[in-house]
């Protein structure tokens, strides 16, 4: 039994729950459709890098002939300069493995520090902001829950915001968007 997650670590809203849900093939399709406009061309790959570090989730293209970038997904409560340096290291490791700059998706459930927030730009991915990554990544996107909730209520519903809301809200169902609008099950 050693090494198994405890009951409380898999409760809705926990980091392990979000990582577990994100490995589901339907959820992978939601993410890849939002980021690269393709649904069936990725699979969950090894998340440990050559230097011994480990990403939360790595999605690998099924075929190198498509020229798709690998996708690194990180769930973070605290996004600051120190985390971004770690993300750069993951990106460089991904480049060594795939010989292609990765797309990075940071799902920020807590605090986005000014040293990162001040560098964010608009993005064409609903709910995301773009972090400059020229020279070390294809794109770095940060999902900002507070910003996205306000803008999402004024737009058409997208699956990516619904996924994030469910994975961080302590909800027991994915009845979206009514649950999101009422925010009855939100822990924040």
Where do the structural domains in the chain lie, given as residue ranges?
Answer: 7-147
Predicted pLDDT at 179: 38
pTM beyond cutoff 0.85: no
Tokens of 18: 């979000």
> Which residues have C-beta within 8 Å of that of residue 94, sequence separation ≥ 6?
49, 58, 70, 72, 100, 101, 102
Q: Which residues of the chain have pLDDT under 70?
A: 1-15, 65, 144-188
Rounded Cα distance between 140 and 130, Å, is 6
Rounded Cα distance between 95 and 103, Å, is 11
Rounded Cα distance between 131 and 153, Å, is 24
pLDDT in tens, 82-94: 999 999 999 999 9
Predicted pLDDT at 154: 41
Predicted pLDDT at 144: 66
Predicted pLDDT at 65: 64
Predicted pLDDT at 21: 82
CATH of domain 7-147: 3.40.1340
Residues 116/83/71/105 CA torsion (nearest 10 deg) = -40
Query: Can you give the three-state secondary structure of the chain, one letter per residue?
Result: CCCCCCHHHHCCCCHHHHHHHHCCHHHHHHHHHHHHCCCCCEEEECCECCCCCECCEEEEECCHHHCCCCEEEEEEEEECHHHHHHHHHHHHHHHHHHCCCCEEEEEEEEEECHHHHCCCEECCCCCEEEECCCCCCCEEEEEEHHHHHHHHCCCCCCHHHHHHHHHHCCCCCCCCCHHHHHCCCCCC
């Amino acid at each position: 039994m050693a090494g198994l997650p405890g009951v409380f670590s898999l409760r809705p809203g926990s980091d392990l729950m979000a990582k577990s849900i994100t490995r589901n093939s339907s959820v992978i399709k939601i993410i890849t459709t939002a980021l690269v406009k393709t649904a069936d061309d990725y699979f969950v790959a090894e998340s440990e890098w050559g230097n011994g570090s480990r990403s939360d989730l790595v999605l690998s293209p099924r075929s190198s002939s498509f020229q798709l970038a690998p996708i690194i997904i990180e769930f973070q409560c605290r996004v600051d300069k120190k985390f971004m340096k770690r993300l750069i290291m993951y990106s460089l490791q991904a480049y060594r493995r795939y010989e292609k700059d990765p797309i990075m998706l940071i799902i920020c459930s807590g605090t986005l520090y000014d040293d990162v927030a001040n560098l964010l730009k608009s993005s064409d991915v609903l709910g995301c902001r773009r972090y400059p990554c020229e020279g070390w990544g294809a794109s770095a996107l940060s999902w900002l829950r507070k910003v996205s909730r306000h803008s999402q209520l004024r737009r058409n519903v997208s699956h990516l915001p619904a996924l994030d809301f469910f994975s961080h809200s302590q909800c027991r169902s994915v009845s979206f968007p009514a649950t999101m609008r009422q925010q009855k099950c939100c822990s924040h």
